[in-house]
Structure 1
Amino acid sequence: MRRLLALIFAVSVWFCAISPASASLDHLTPCSESAAFQARKAEFVNTTADPNSGA
């Protein structure tokens, strides 16, 4: 009986204490419109073919 009561209590606290996640994507800027991304894109060096480029 104690375990059942503890389980019911734990489940009720778990459902009541967790707030639902909410995310808004309205404030995000696409990379094609971002000046900061365009600056990083201009400085990009392709290192795929050269394994020693990061050394």
Structure 2
Amino acid sequence: MSTTGHEGIDEALSGLEDLADRPVTEHLAVYDAIHHVVRATLADAGRAEGPGTP
């Protein structure tokens, strides 16, 4: 599996690796967890860190 370079997103996406072995009824929870991580990461992406940042 290729990586995004972002540890949190890569970890979340690793849940897709065994999706074929899971019952379809569990797929939504996996997708929802990934979606949550991606949204949180994107929400924080615009926030700079360091001196002089609000």
Q: TM-score, normalising length from structure 2? A: 0.37
Q: Computing the radius of gyration over CA atoms, which structure comes out larger, 1 or 2? A: 1
Query: Whose RCO is larger (CA < 8 A, sep 6+)?
Result: 2
Q: TM-score, normalising length from structure 1? A: 0.37
